[in-house]
Every structure is written in structure tokens, then in C-alpha cells.
A and B are shown apart, each in its own frame.
Chain A
Amino acid sequence: MALQSLDIKQRSATTTPSPQARQTVEIAKLIDVSACIGCKACQVACMEWNDVRDEVGSCAGVYDNPMDLTENSWTVMRYSEVEQNGKLEWLIRKDGCMHCTDPGCLKACPAPGAIIQYSNGIVDFHQENCIGCGYCVTGCPFNVPRISKKDNKAYKCTLCSDRVAVNQAPACAKACPTGAIQFGSKEDMKDYAATRVADLKERGYDKAGLYDPQGVGGTHVMYVLHHADKPALYSNLPENPGVSPMVSLWKGAAKPIAAAALGLVALSSLFHYVMKGPNEVSKEIEKEVEKEDAQ
């Protein structure tokens, strides 16, 4: 059940409109990559608030730990060392759900109410309705949802929908010691990002910018990037993310076309029978066979 202060905008596998009388303020989390020191306080805060614990893994020789998102690690820091303008740069990106305005996971999900988009922009998984098919993984342009091996349910960042519902900032934003994670209305976050981008530009990052990809209608987790022209530098952040055309076709036009086509075939069969009658063995041939028998 959705918290009442989080009105529903969209519900997976539901063809009728959701209640829309109220419109809550659109929120966003802004991750300023240029201010991130890679301390992982956000990762710790996430597991603490949401009470999920990943298995203790082993060191892979890099700072990334765990190495990837899992059903218990809804956010991970991704560290990449790149050379830009003849200098070594250490780019650290906090990865996790982007809370797209046009969410591919929700589009692909076949289970009614397993994925909810609140009118504030948060995209949330309701595991009690999840059937574990993994279509959300197929639909996501950012490779975020993870299916648990234990219970076969999909998990990802909730943007702390439970905290946001009672006017609290997400746990990660609360824990960030450098202010690299900001939280507020999407409008405010864009304004704040503009000041950060201006500052970065002043300091020589003339390609600095805001990552709020329009291919998915904008996101409710945005990044300030020093190299906004090359998002791939940041551990393969996609340049122009969008719901794959194959997913759009599969869970878009194909549905009504297929349903209509099947209905048409079934009804044509019925009406063919009604209008043309059955294809019986002719009396003539039956008599011929009887005659042969008599001989």
C-alpha cells in the first residue's frame, strides 16, 4: 500500500488511470560527482536505514566494494581512473536507481502493482506483488534492478520513499559528509546544480553540466558531472539512455495489436461456422462407400 502522502502516478500492468486528484511536488536527488570523496557513507547509510546487509565479499584490488549492485546493495560507489586534459582524474559515481520519469522497468513489468511511480517521481518496487520474472531488468536502461537468488524478487533503491513520505531526506543524502548528495524539489535541485556547474566552469571544467537525460523523460536522481559531454567516463554512465525500442514495441504497440488479432481470428472462426456451416462428408460419398461394401 502506497503511503498516502505519496500519490500514485503510474502502476505497472494497469491500463486504467491512477487517482490523480492531488499532485505532489516533484522531488529529486542531486549527486554532485565533483564533490564526492568516495567515502561510502551513503552505502553504509543505505544498508543501515533499509536494514539490508550484503554478504562480506573479497577485495577485487580496487575501491569498488561490493563490485556491483545486488539485492542487498541498492547503491554502490563506482571508481574510475581516467586521463583528461593530460591529468589523472579519479571519478567516483554513486550508482543506483535513477527514478526515471519514463521508467523502462515499470513499462516491462507484467505484475499489476509490483512497480509504482509516485507523483513525486519516485519509482518503487512492491515486492509482495513481484512475480520474479526479471522483465524489469530487461526494461531498465541503467541496469539497476537485481533479482534475489533467495526469494526471486526484484530489489533496487527506493529513494527512501518511506523517509520522503514523512518529509525526510533519503538516508544517503543525510549521511553524505561533503554535501555531494543534495535532496529537495526537482526545481530546486536544478537551480542548485546550475550554481555548481557555473562554479566548475569557472574552475576550468568548461564541459561541466547536469545529467538529467531526456531520453527517459528526465530522472529524479541527477548528477553534476565535470565532463557532461562524456558521461561514459563515469563507469559507463549511458550517454543517451532511453527505453529500448524493442521493449517499447514488446510492451507497447504489440499488446493491443496482438490482442485484437487473436480476437479477430477467434471471432472469424466462429462467424465462419455460423455463416458457411460445417464441412460435412457428402451423402454421395457415403453412399458410394456403402455401395462398395455391398459388392
Chain B
Amino acid sequence: MIRDPKDLQRYTASERANHWLVGICFILLALSGLAFFHPAFYPLVQLFGGGTWARVLHPFIGVLMAAAFVVMFFRFRALNVMTDADREWLSRVREMVDGNDHNMPEQGKYNGGQKMLFWLLALCMLVLMVSGLFMWRAQFSFPVDLVRLASLAHAVAGVVIIALIIVHIYAAIWTKGTVRAMWYGTVTRAWAKQHHRAWYRQMTGK
């Protein structure tokens, strides 16, 4: 039910479903992964039915996330190519964080920060996917030095991706009127004009 027909469609239903699938997998992977990483988080395995279940499920959820992420990557890749305007946006990111976006250059569907997040997430996912396969002892057996390197890389990439997602979720909460795009796909025109003016022009022809 679209209450305001003039709202702008930011995401299609299948894009949203894709994002949610990746998101749910991420949450499950982060919770179980942290449990294996640090004893302080070990009690999180109870959410999965115990340590052994968490160990069994983690890699399968990882495969599902990897598949869903790859689809999402190719969907949004073209929209995330860095431009000069994005680089300028990034160089002024301090003003943005400070809550003053008056001097920020006009942004398309994604701003420089979102694009940088996109590529960092893709890099982390690549490292996690490859190193995760090396660590999957129930299925594979690789030379131990490779597994050691993979374990370290998996932990580092895992921590970085969790930090990036915290920033990603916070940015969506901070920027009012954003979360609805993830739920039902639309944003108000005022939101688009404020935060993504070039995209707003493109969508409305103004």
C-alpha cells in the first residue's frame, strides 16, 4: 500500500529480499563467529543449540550468505563506481559526521561513504569466503600453514566486517527516513533531495 504515490522507489522487492537474506545470515554468522573467536562471547552458542551446533551451522550459513552477497554485489556494483564527487565527499566527511552537510557535494544514489563501504564489504566477504573454506575441517583438509593463515585472515576480516556493519546500521538509524527504504522500498522526495540530490533530479526530472 503506497500511501503517498509521489514517494520515490529506492529498492525493488527482490533487492530488499536479497538484502534481508544477507543481513540475517550476517547476524547469525557474527554471533556464532564471535563465539569461536573470544571466550567472552562463547555463551552466544546457546542461540544455536550449543557449541557443536554453532560449529556445524556457521559454515553452511556462510555459504548461503556468500551466494546471496554475490548476487547483491552484481546488482549494485555499477551504482557504486567512485567518481570525483565521491572523492570530494569523502575528503569532507568530517563535516558530515559533525552534522553539517551544507557544503557536501551533490550525491547520486549512493554517496562516497556508502560506496566505500560497499567495496570494503566486498573485500571482506572475499577474504571470509576463501579463508572460511580453508578452515572448514568437516569438509576439507588443507596444509596446516594455509589453515593457520586462513584462520588469522578470517578473524581479521570478520572483525572488520562487523565494525563496518555497525557503522552501516548506525548510519541508517542516524539518517532519519532511511530505514523504511529497507522495509518497503520507498523514500520521501524531501529525503532524496536532502541526501542524494543528483539521484533526486534523475528520478523526478527536476
Q: Are B137 and A147 in contact (CB under 8 A)?
A: yes
User: B4-35: which residues lie under 8 A (CB-CB) from chain A?
Assistant: 6, 35
Q: Are A269 and B166 in contact (CB under 8 A)?
A: yes
Listed stretches B63-71, B77-85, B121-129, B146-154; interface member:
B146-154
Q: Are B151 and A285 in contact (CB under 8 A)?
A: no
Q: Are A138 and B39 in contact (CB under 8 A)?
A: no
Residues on B with C-beta less than 8 A from A277 are 99
Listed stretches A61-69, A228-236, A286-294; interface member:
A286-294
User: How far is B99's CA from A115's CA once the two chains are assembled, in angstroms?
Assistant: 51
In the assembled complex, B87 has its CB within 8 A of some CB on chain A: no
Q: Are B159 and A131 in contact (CB under 8 A)?
A: no
User: A35-77: which residues lie under 8 A (CB-CB) from chain B?
Assistant: none
Residues on A with C-beta less than 8 A from B39 are 13-15, 110, 112
Known: A111-B42, A259-B40, A272-B97. A285 touches B145 (CB 8 A): no
Residues on A with C-beta less than 8 A from B194 are 281-282, 285
In the assembled complex, B186 has its CB within 8 A of some CB on chain A: no
Known: A137-B144, A288-B193. A258 touches B166 (CB 8 A): no
* Residue total for B at the interface (Cβ-Cβ under 8 A): 50
Q: Mark B144-177, 1 if CB is under 8 A from A, else 0.
A: 1101110110011001001100110010011111
For A247, the closest partner residue in chain B by CB is B148
In the assembled complex, B190 has its CB within 8 A of some CB on chain A: yes
Q: Are B193 and A259 in contact (CB under 8 A)?
A: no
Across the interface, A110 reaches (CB within 8 A) one of B42, B156, B170, B189, namely B42
Q: Are A250 and B155 in contact (CB under 8 A)?
A: yes
In the assembled complex, A132 has its CB within 8 A of some CB on chain B: yes
In the assembled complex, A265 has its CB within 8 A of some CB on chain B: yes
Across the interface, A279 reaches (CB within 8 A) one of B52, B176, B189, namely B176
Q: Are B162 and A289 in contact (CB under 8 A)?
A: no
User: How far is B193's CA from A288's CA once the two chains are assembled, in angstroms?
Assistant: 10
Residues on B with C-beta less than 8 A from A133 are 36, 55, 137
Across the interface, B148 reaches (CB within 8 A) one of A246, A262, A293, namely A246
Tally of A-B Cβ pairs under 8 angstroms:
128
Q: Mark A259-274, 1 if CB is under 8 A from B, else 0.
A: 1011001100100110
Q: How far is the CB of B63 from chain A (nearest CB, A)?
A: 17
In the assembled complex, A152 has its CB within 8 A of some CB on chain B: yes
Residues on A with C-beta less than 8 A from B98 are 276
Q: Mark A104-146, 1 if CB is under 8 A from B, else 0.
A: 0000101110000000000000000101111101100001000
Residues on B close to A: CB < 8 A?
A: 6, 35-40, 42, 45, 50-52, 54-56, 97-99, 101, 135, 137-138, 144-145, 147-149, 151-152, 155-156, 159, 162-163, 166-167, 170, 173-177, 188-191, 193-195, 206
User: How far is B175's CA from A278's CA once the two chains are assembled, in angstroms?
Assistant: 6
For B101, the closest partner residue in chain A by CB is A279
Q: Are B174 and A272 in contact (CB under 8 A)?
A: yes
CB<8 Å pairs between A and B, sample of 19: A15-B39, A129-B51, A152-B138, A247-B151, A258-B37, A258-B155, A259-B40, A261-B163, A262-B159, A262-B166, A265-B166, A272-B170, A278-B175, A280-B177, A281-B177, A282-B194, A285-B190, A289-B189, A293-B6
Nearest 6 pairs of A and B residues by beta carbon: A134-B137, A131-B51, A269-B170, A13-B39, A246-B148, A258-B159
Residues on B with C-beta less than 8 A from A15 are 39-40
User: How far is B159's CA from A254's CA once the two chains are assembled, in angstroms?
Assistant: 10
Across the interface, A132 reaches (CB within 8 A) one of B37, B52, B145, B170, namely B52
For B52, the closest partner residue in chain A by CB is A131
Q: Are A152 and B144 in contact (CB under 8 A)?
A: no
For B175, the closest partner residue in chain A by CB is A279
Q: Are A112 and B42 in contact (CB under 8 A)?
A: yes
Across the interface, A246 reaches (CB within 8 A) one of B38, B151, B173, namely B151
Known: A112-B42, A285-B190. A278 touches B176 (CB 8 A): yes
Q: Are B188 and A132 in contact (CB under 8 A)?
A: no
Q: How far is the CB of A65 from chain B (nearest CB, A)?
A: 22
